[in-house]
Amino acid sequence: MSSTEPPEARIVAAVPPASSVRVGAGEKLRAASVPGLTMTVRCRPPSASGLPPALFVHGLGGSSQNWSALMELLADRVEGEALDLPGFGDSPPPDDGNYSITGHARAVIRYLDAQDRGPVHLVGNSMGGSIATRVAAVRPDLVRTLTLVSPALPELRPQRTAVPTGLLAVPGVTRLFTRMTKDWDAERRTREVMLLTFGDPSLVGREDFAYAVEEFERRLALPYFWDALSRSARGVVDSYALGGQHSLWRQAERVLAPTLLVYGGRDQLVSVRMAQRANATFRDSRLLTLLDAGHVAMMEYPEAVARGMRELLDGVEERDDRDSRKARGAVPASGADGSGAARG
């Protein structure tokens, strides 16, 4: 896989975080290292042994904490892990300074190869959806199913509300933005992010908001925070311009894994109008549209997303069982093969 990172990319030294990251009840954090990368992994022990592995990949500016609610709801179905991508959450920057979609996808692949965890039920949100799509396309052996929540796939006419986020990719804009917002405290920055990403920010509880502010304060103290954010945004924008076999839409066509697509009707960053195109592009897909959700449906409506994933997993298990019985001669060859995708 080739990198889309510009040649002037610079490497920012990693330093220990000023304060510890939040760990929810029942969760554990551990560090996973491969050559050139160290990533924090958020784990939730499954409620039963022998459950299949799942890996959750956050979006731009997010972290593994974005998946806590969903992982808890699925603890009886999968053995869940969520990554802090390099430079985000509690993970230091990558040694090579590569924040492209390809670079992040390579990090996920290297982690799965090192842990020998594949094939996994792979889940991604926003930028993490782009990353997961690329992983599923180039390494189908690592992905059992694919769930994409508001995936950042190229749009010819992005929503007006998504333009400021895209501008973070422009050299110099981050410095200008930080000067313009130098008087904003972490509480205001958190509120602005929630206004952009949540369908109805007023539904965020006081305690959860306080935790989000605390996490924003922690990240702002990291010297590489803005660098990781701006150059990952540049990586997303660069991926939109890639053509040929590296195009994200072309790679979406190559995905073999059964896929669940989740879109929010109030998403200001990824237009819900892209849902039908995505549903027609992925070979074996089903679509879940949540009219009141914004960009992070797994945080706003985790029960609804969990139900969608359960249905996806049920369908895959039924198909596997049917194929197994057919292979043993228990089912006539002319029987239903379950190849039709459920589409909503």
What type of residue sits at position 83? Answer: L
Pick from 84-98, 188-202, 312-326: least confident? 312-326
Q: What percent of the chain clears pLDDT 70, i.e. is strictly above it?
A: 82
Interatomic CA distance for residues 310 and 312, integer angstroms? 5
Beta-carbon neighbour count of residue 29 at 10 Å?
Answer: 16
- By the 8 A CB rule, do 270 and 151 touch? yes
Of residues 92 and 338, the one with the higher pLDDT is 92
What type of residue sits at position 104? Answer: H
Could you say which DSSP state residue 160 is in? G
Judged against a pLDDT cut of 80, whether residue 332 lies above it is answered with no
Prediction pTM value: 0.84
Residue 174 has what pLDDT?
43
Instruction: Compute the residue count for the chain.
Output: 344
Residue 153 has what pLDDT?
92
Residue 159 has what pLDDT?
54
Interatomic CA distance for residues 24 and 44, integer angstroms? 9
Question: What homologous superfamily is domain 28-319 in, according to CATH?
Answer: Alpha/Beta hydrolase fold, catalytic domain (3.40.50.1820)
The strand pairing partners of 148, in sequence order, are 124, 261
pLDDT band, residue 325 (cuts 50/70/90): confident
What type of residue sits at position 179? Answer: R
- By the 8 A CB rule, do 155 and 179 touch? no
> DSSP letter string over 22-40?
P--TT-EEEEEEETTEEEE
Interatomic CA distance for residues 254 and 133, integer angstroms? 9
Interatomic CA distance for residues 334 and 319, integer angstroms? 15
Element (H, E) at 143: strand 143-149
Q: What is the pLDDT of residues 158-183, one digit of tens each?
A: 555 544 444 444 444 445 445 555 56
Residue 17 has what pLDDT?
43
HSE value, Cβ hemisphere, 13 Å, CA-based, for 302 = 12
What type of residue sits at position 183? Answer: D
Q: Give the angle 168-199-250 at the CA atoms, nearest 5°.
A: 55
Interatomic CA distance for residues 101 and 104, integer angstroms? 5
Buried b (16+ CB within 10 A) or exposed e, 279-308: bebbebbbbbbbeebbbbbbbbbbebbbeb
Of residues 330 and 48, the one with the higher pLDDT is 48
- By the 8 A CB rule, do 149 and 123 touch? yes
> DSSP letter string over 176-209?
HHHHHTTT--HHHHHHHHHHHH-S-GGGS-HHHH
What is the arithmetic mean of pLDDT over 112-123?
93
Domain chopping of the chain, boundaries? 28-319
pLDDT band, residue 239 (cuts 50/70/90): confident
Judged against a pLDDT cut of 80, whether residue 68 lies above it is answered with yes
Interatomic CA distance for residues 285 and 342, integer angstroms? 7
- Calculate the alpha carbon distances from 36 to 24, 107, 222 in Å: 28, 9, 19
Which of 192, 173, 195, 176 lies closest to 184, judged by CA? Answer: 192
What is the arithmetic mean of pLDDT over 121-140?
97
Residue 323 phi, psi (nearest 5) = -65, -40
Beta-carbon neighbour count of residue 336 at 10 Å?
Answer: 9
* Average pLDDT of the chain to the nearest whole number: 84
HSE value, Cβ hemisphere, 13 Å, CA-based, for 329 = 0
Residue 168 has what pLDDT?
41
What tokens were used for 8?
Answer: 């002037």
